[in-house]
């Protein structure tokens, strides 16, 4: 049986939502973060070589990395609309956002997170110097990249209701974590009405609400 090893406040929420959307038969094993370090507990880290979330096991198979897991699960559902077929109208759009979630959005958010950690956990006066330097990094790299991504999202969602096209696809599912993380930080407060409507659609879906209920946390994303 497929088992989702679900770490609270982590990217494994994507897989939880995917499984609920598919109506899949699976086992859920939940893990809490260490209360002092906020990292995954040792038994979770031992599941895979990277020691990161998400992780699924299926018999002797141990698989990590969100998009690899999503593709693996969807291989068992070849007729699912969550992965538009080659040659279909929405195929290219789906592929772009499915991979942009990790390759562009989350990688940029990770840079921003590392900068913040270094600024806040480095003693003065070094921290003051880092803030000045990192401010330029944000101005020249992080913020323009995020602005470009959010601008393209707003444009695409004006044309069709989901990132993958007319219907929910795995692109929306893999984007759910970085999008909620961005919203938690106030990224969409000044405009982006189409992105706001996407959040409304997602949060109204039965599968999403079922995943939130099983997650049983006040939010999806991790805060440091």
Segment holding 167, helix H or strand E: none
Residue 165: predicted pLDDT: 97
Distance between CA atoms of 134 and 132, rounded to whole angstroms?
A: 6
Contact (CB, 8 A) for 141 and 111: yes
pLDDT at 96: 98
pLDDT at position 39: 83
Across all residues in the chain, what is the average pLDDT?
Answer: 93
Give pLDDT tens digits for 180-201: 999 999 999 888 999 999 999 9
CATH number of this structure's domain 91-209: 1.20.1050.10
Closest CA to 200 of 211, 209, 190, 191: 209
- pLDDT confidence of 154, banded at 50, 70, 90? very high
Rg from Cα positions in the chain: 18
Every domain range in the chain assigned CATH 1.20.1050.10: 91-209
Please list the residue range(s) of the chain that carry CATH number 3.40.30.10: 2-80
- Is 70 exceeded by the pLDDT of residue 224? no
- pLDDT tens for residues 139-150? 989 999 999 999
Superfamily of domain 2-80: Glutaredoxin (3.40.30.10)
158, 102, 112: which is closest to 137 by C-alpha? 112
Taking the model in full, what pTM does it have? 0.93
Q: For the sheet with 55-58, list strands across it.
A: 27-31, 2-7, 55-58, 61-64
Q: What percent of the chain has pLDDT over 70?
A: 100
Instruction: Please state which of the ranges 43-57, 81-95, 96-110, 147-161 shows the lowest mean pLDDT.
Output: 43-57
Label residue 89 exposed, middle or buried (CB < 10 Å: 0-12, 13-18, 19+).
Answer: exposed
Q: What is the mean pLDDT of residues 103-114?
A: 92
């Amino acid at each position: 049986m497929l088992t989702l090893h679900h770490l609270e406040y982590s990217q494994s929420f994507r897989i939880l939502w995917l499984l609920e959307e598919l109506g899949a038969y699976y086992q859920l094993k939940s893990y809490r973060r260490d209360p002092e370090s906020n990292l995954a507990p040792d038994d979770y880290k031992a599941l895979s070589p990277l020691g990161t979330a998400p992780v699924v096991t299926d018999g002797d198979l141990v698989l990590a990395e969100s998009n690899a897991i999503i593709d693996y699960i969807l291989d068992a559902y070849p007729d699912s609309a969550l992965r538009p077929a080659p040659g279909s109208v929405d195929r290219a759009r789906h592929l772009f956002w499915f991979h942009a979630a990790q390759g562009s959005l989350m990688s940029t958010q990770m840079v921003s997170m590392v900068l913040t950690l270094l600024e806040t956990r480095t003693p003065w006066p070094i921290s003051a110097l880092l803030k000045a330097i990192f401010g330029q990094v944000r101005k020249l790299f992080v913020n323009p990249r995020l602005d470009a991504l959010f601008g393209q999202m707003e444009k695409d969602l004006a044309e069709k209701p989901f990132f993958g096209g007319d219907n929910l696809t795995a692109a929306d599912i893999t984007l759910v974590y970085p999008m909620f993380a961005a919203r938690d930080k106030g990224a969409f407060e000044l405009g982006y009405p189409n992105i706001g409507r996407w959040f409304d659609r997602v949060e109204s879906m039965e599968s999403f609400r079922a995943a939130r209920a099983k997650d049983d946390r006040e939010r999806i994303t991790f805060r440091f």
